[in-house]
Structure 1
Amino acid sequence: MIENALKKLNITALNQMQEAALKAVKSGHDVLLIAPTGSGKTLAFLLPLLAKLKPDVKGVQALVLVPSRELALQIEQVFRQMGTPFKVNCCYGGHAVRVEKNNLAHPPAVLIGTPGRIAYHLEHQNFDESFVENLILDEFDKSLEFGFESDMSYIIGKLLSLKQRILTSATKMEEIPEFVKLKNALDIDFSQNLQSKPNLKLKKVTAPAADKLEVLFKLLTKIGGKNTLVFCNHRETVDRISDILFEHGLGHDVFHGGMEQIDREKALLKFRNGSHKILITTDLAARGLDIPEIEHIVHYQLPYTEDAYIHRNGRTARMHAKGTAYAVITPEENYKYLPEDIEEEPLSDHYEIPEASDWVTLYLAHGKKDKINKIDIVGLFLQKGGLAKDDLGLIEVKDTTSYIAVKREKIEKLLKILTGEKIKGKKLKMEVAS
C-alpha cells in the first residue's frame, strides 16, 4: 500500500528522515520525531500508518492532533491524494459542528483535528474512541504554545486502547509533559538540518526606519512575479503593508491570526494556486503549512529569536530547491543571529510593477456535500466551458465550496458561457474569489 501511495503522490524516493521515521513507526514503539519545517514530516507519519489501519474496523483507528485548521486540512489533503480505501475526516474550530457530527456518524479510519474541537466531540460522544490505537501529535510544541495542553491531556486520557504515540516537533523540547505518556520512545532527531541549508542565500537591504515601506516596495518589484513570503512581527504591520501595496497596484494577499478563518483559507489557497505571488504574513505561516516552491523570503521585521528566524527561512530552499532570504533592516539594528558578512542587495530607484498572475481563482458555492468532486468540475469546464486542460490549474473541493484556478484570459468568457448551467442537478453558483 505504501508503494501505491507514493506512486499516487509522484514520489520516487523518500528522504533520509522519512526512511528513519518509517522504520521507527513500523517497530511499534512510541516515536519522537524532530525535524525542520519543509522536511516532509507529514509523509513520515502517514505512510507507516497505512500498514496499521484495518479495513474491517468500522471506527476511528488513528487520531492526528494539530495546532491549526490549515495544518489539519493540509494533512487531510495529502491522505486523500494517497488514494487509499480508508476514509479520512477533519474537525476544527470555525467548521460547522453539524457537518462534523454527520461525518462522524459514518466514522473515518483517520480523524484529523485541532485539540479543542476533538475534545468537544469526545465530550459529546460524537465518535467511539475505543478503536483508536494510533495517536499522532503533529507540531506538538506549537500545540503547547497555543494553549492546547488541557484539551490534549483530556483526549489522551480517554484513549484507553492506544498502542502507539507519534510526536513530531520542529524544535527540540526540554521535556515532554507527563500527560503524553510516552514510553521508551525512539528518538529521531534531524534538528541539526535546521542550520544547514546550502541552497539558501542570505541578503540584507539596509533602509532608514522612515523609508522601510518604500524600500520593501522596491524590493518586491525587483523580485518580480516570483513566489514570495513577507514576514512581519505584528498583524497591524501586515495590514499597513497591504494598504501600501494595494495603493501601488501590486497584487498580493495577507495571512494572520486576526482574520476570519475562511479568509485565511482563501488567502493560502490563492497563494498555493498562483493567483497571487506575494503573501504578507506573521509567523503563523512560518511552520506547518505546505506552501510549495517559495523562492523568496523577506523579513520586513526580523523576529525576536533565532529559532523563529530559522523557521521562517525554512519556508524556502526546501528539499533540493534554491531560495533567497532578505532581511530589511535599519543601520541601527543589530541581530546576533545574522551573519556579519551578509551580502547587501542593491536597489535602483525604480522598477516596473510585475504583471498580474496568469491565474485567477474561481469560487463555486458547491462542494463535497453536493457530491461534487474534481472530475465533475473538470468535465464541466472542459466540455461545456470550452477550456483546454492547460487552462485549468489547481482545484480544491471543500465541504460546501470549491476553488478552481483558471487562466486569466479565459475567465470572462467562461463565466458568460456557464451562466445558467447546472452541476449535479443544481444551478451553478460561481464567481471570481475576492
Structure 2
Amino acid sequence: MMYFCRMVESTFSIENTLSNLQIDTLNEMQQASLEANKTSNEVILLANTGSGKTLAFLLPITQLLKKDQVTQALIIVPSRELALQIETVFKKMGTGFKITCCYGGHKREIEENNLLQAPQLIVGTPGRLGDHIRRGNITTSHIETLVLDEFDKSLEEGFDEEMSFIISSLPGLKKKILTSATEAVEIPDFVGLQAPVKINFLTGEKSPALAVQMVLSDDKDKTETLFRLICHLGNRSTIVFCNQREFVELVNTNLKEKGIVSVFYHGAMEQRDREVALSKFRNGSSNVLVTTDLAARGLDIPNIRYIIHYQLPHTQEAFTHRNGRTARMEASGTAILIVAPHERVPEYITPAPEAINLPETAELPQKPGWTTFFIGAGKKDKVNKVDIVGFFTNKGQLKKEDIGLIEVKDFFSFVAIRKSKASHTLHTIKDEKIKNKKVKIDVAK
C-alpha cells in the first residue's frame, strides 16, 4: 500500500475546517491540490499570489497527520512573516494537531520549550530550522512530509545550503510539496524530485479585480507627488513599496512631517518593532504602510485597497508579488506607479496604465479612528482575547464596539481602542490587573 493511502486513517474533517475558516467551499486550485496529493508523493503547485496556496497544502498535510506525539511534517518558508501566517491559518483550522513556528529575530529558547513536547507540524525559516536540527531540538526520524513554500524565494534569498542540509536530515521523508508563484525557477537536485505532478494555475495575467494606474511626477524624488496621491486616495488601507530600506524610513518620515499617519517595515528592524508596525496597520491605527519587498510575500492583511510603487520594481516578478497584497480572494484593488521624469513604465506592464491627474491642492485625509495599546502579557501568561475584552469592558468601562482588532503574541498583546476613548481608558486602567497580575499597558510606540 502506498504512503498516500494512509489518508483514510485521519479523522480530520475538511467540512469542519472550512467552517472554522468561514469559507464556503474550496476553489479550483485547492481542489486540484487535494486530488493530486491523493495520488502522488511529489507535487509542485504553481499559483498566483493571493489565490489560497496556504490552504492548498495545509489540507493534504493535515489529512496525513496522526495523533502520535512526534513531528511528522515540516514546512520551510523564506520569511518569518510567512511562517507566522501559516501558523495562524493552521490554528484557525481547528485540527487539534500542534504546530510550532521557528524563525530568527527572537529568543531560540522560546522555541526550544515549544519543541520539548514534539509538535506534529513545524513551520519555519531555513536558518532557524537548521539550527534546531543541529542542536537536536527537532527529532527528524518521523518526518515524512515536507513542504517548500515559496521555494523560489528561498532560493533567491540564498538558502540553498541550509535547505539542502535540512532535506538530507530527513531519513524517513516520503512526500514533498513545493509551491511557487512563478514558473521560471529550476528546482535544485538536492530536493530529490523524481517524477513530480505539476499543478499549474498561473494565469500570467493580472487579476481582473486589480486595476493598474500611474501618476506622472514632476519632481525627481517623488516626495510631494506621493503626499498628494495619498491625500487624493483618502483614508484607505495603502501599502507604499520602496526598493531600499533607507528609502522606507525617509519616505515614512516625510509623510509624518506632512501630517500623514503612517508606519514603516523592513528587514533590519527588531522583531517587536515589526510586530508593532504590522499590528497598527492591520487594526486601522495607521492606514499607510511604507515597506520594502519584504512585505510583498507572506503578509496576509485583508482589505488592502491600494498598492503604491513609490520606486518602480526591478522585475516583473517583484511587480506581481507587490500587487498580490491587494485584490486577494476576489476583492478589488488598485496598483499605482509613481513615474518620475527620468523613468519609463516597464515594458512588462501592459497595457499602458491609465494616468491619474491629481488635484492641485492636497487635503489631508481623515485621521484613523483607532489607537493601538501594548499589553505586556500574552499566550505564555495564559492571557487570551476573551481576557482582554473582559478587562477593557469591565475595568476600562468600554463598550465592545470601542474595542477593535486584538492580537495575542507569546509574551505581549496588541489591542485597538477607539481613539476618542484612548486617553480616558488609559487613565482608568492604570492601576488595574489582568488575571490578577499587574502588567504594563501603554500606547504602542
Structure-1-length-normalised TM-score: 0.96
1:40 counterpart (52, 77, 81): 52
- Given that 2:106 and 2:271 are in contact with CA atoms closer than 8 Å, whether structure 1 keeps it comes out as no
Which residue does 1:327 correspond to in 2?
Answer: 337
Give the partner amino acid of 2:168. Answer: G
Shift of 1:70: 1.0
Gaps of 5+ in 2: 1-12
Give the partner amino acid of 1:4. Answer: N
Shift of 1:340: 5.5
Which residue does 1:146 correspond to in 2?
Answer: 157
Deviations 1:206-230 (A, max 9, x none): 1124362111100001101101111
Which residue does 2:206 correspond to in 1?
Answer: 196
Judge which range, 39-48 or 422-431, deviates more: 422-431
Taking a change above 3 Å as real, the CA distance of residues 413 and 7 of structure 1, as seen in their structure-2 partners, is same
Shift of 1:28: 4.4
- Once residues 87 and 417 of structure 2 are traced to their aligned partners in structure 1, the CA distance between those partners, rounded to angstroms, is 24
Which residue does 1:128 correspond to in 2?
Answer: 139
Aligned-residue sequence identity (percent) comes to 52
Provide the secondary structure at the position in 2 that maps to 1:33. strand
Shift of 1:416: 2.0
Deviations 1:327-384 (A, max 9, x none): 1112442221233542110111212211221121111111111111222212222233
Is 2:381 the counterpart of 1:373? no
- Given that 1:364 and 1:430 are in contact with CA atoms closer than 8 Å, whether structure 2 keeps it comes out as yes
Judge which range, 57-66 or 255-264, deviates more: 255-264
2:293 counterpart (283, 296, 315): 283
1:234-249 equivalent positions in 2, closer than 5 A: 234-249=244-259
Which residue does 2:175 correspond to in 1?
Answer: 164
- Once residues 197 and 265 of structure 1 are traced to their aligned partners in structure 2, the CA distance between those partners, rounded to angstroms, is 29
Which residue does 2:404 correspond to in 1?
Answer: 393
Which residue does 1:431 correspond to in 2?
Answer: 442
1:330-369 equivalent positions in 2, closer than 5 A: 330-334=340-344, 335-339=346-350, 341-369=352-380
- Once residues 431 and 232 of structure 2 are traced to their aligned partners in structure 1, the CA distance between those partners, rounded to angstroms, is 43
Give the partner amino acid of 1:9. Answer: L
Give the partner amino acid of 1:229. Answer: I
2:421 counterpart (396, 410, 426): 410
1:79 counterpart (83, 86, 90): 90
- Once residues 144 and 103 of structure 2 are traced to their aligned partners in structure 1, the CA distance between those partners, rounded to angstroms, is 21
1:306 counterpart (305, 316, 320): 316
Is 2:263 the counterpart of 1:260? no
Which residue does 1:53 correspond to in 2?
Answer: 65
- Given that 1:286 and 1:311 are in contact with CA atoms closer than 8 Å, whether structure 2 keeps it comes out as yes
Judge which range, 156-165 or 260-269, deviates more: 260-269
Shift of 1:246: 1.2
Shift of 1:83: 1.7
- Given that 2:238 and 2:288 are in contact with CA atoms closer than 8 Å, whether structure 1 keeps it comes out as yes
1:250 counterpart (236, 256, 260): 260
Give the partner amino acid of 1:63. Answer: L
- Once residues 312 and 196 of structure 1 are traced to their aligned partners in structure 2, the CA distance between those partners, rounded to angstroms, is 12
Taking a change above 3 Å as real, the CA distance of residues 218 and 90 of structure 1, as seen in their structure-2 partners, is same
Shift of 1:160: 1.0
Is 2:27 the counterpart of 1:15? yes
Judge which range, 233-242 or 116-125, deviates more: 233-242
Provide the secondary structure at the position in 2 that maps to 1:319. coil
Which residue does 1:4 correspond to in 2?
Answer: 16
Provide the secondary structure at the position in 2 that maps to 1:205. strand
Which residue does 1:212 correspond to in 2?
Answer: 222
- Given that 1:30 and 1:186 are in contact with CA atoms closer than 8 Å, whether structure 2 keeps it comes out as yes
Give the partner amino acid of 2:443. Answer: V
* Structure 1 stretches of 4+ moved >4 Å: none
Provide the secondary structure at the position in 1 that maps to 2:336. strand
- Once residues 314 and 242 of structure 2 are traced to their aligned partners in structure 1, the CA distance between those partners, rounded to angstroms, is 11
Shift of 1:433: 0.7
Structure-2-length-normalised TM-score: 0.94
- Once residues 172 and 361 of structure 1 are traced to their aligned partners in structure 2, the CA distance between those partners, rounded to angstroms, is 40
1:98-109 equivalent positions in 2, closer than 5 A: 98-109=109-120
Shift of 1:418: 1.7
Deviations 1:385-429 (A, max 9, x none): 222222222211111111112211221222222222222332131
Provide the secondary structure at the position in 1 that maps to 2:173. coil
Which residue does 2:7 correspond to in 1?
Answer: none
Which residue does 1:27 correspond to in 2?
Answer: 39
Gaps of 5+ in 1: none
- Once residues 431 and 404 of structure 2 are traced to their aligned partners in structure 1, the CA distance between those partners, rounded to angstroms, is 23
Give the partner amino acid of 2:395. Answer: K
Provide the secondary structure at the position in 1 that maps to 2:393. helix
- Given that 1:65 and 1:114 are in contact with CA atoms closer than 8 Å, whether structure 2 keeps it comes out as yes
Q: RMSD of the alignment, in Å?
A: 1.5
Taking a change above 3 Å as real, the CA distance of residues 173 and 344 of structure 1, as seen in their structure-2 partners, is closer
Which residue does 1:111 correspond to in 2?
Answer: 122
Give the partner amino acid of 1:118. Answer: L
Provide the secondary structure at the position in 2 that maps to 1:229. strand
Provide the secondary structure at the position in 1 that maps to 2:24. coil
Give the partner amino acid of 2:259. Answer: G
- Once residues 441 and 311 of structure 2 are traced to their aligned partners in structure 1, the CA distance between those partners, rounded to angstroms, is 39
- Once residues 174 and 99 of structure 1 are traced to their aligned partners in structure 2, the CA distance between those partners, rounded to angstroms, is 35
Shift of 1:47: 1.7
Instruction: Count matched residues.
Output: 432
Taking a change above 3 Å as real, the CA distance of residues 250 and 136 of structure 1, as seen in their structure-2 partners, is same
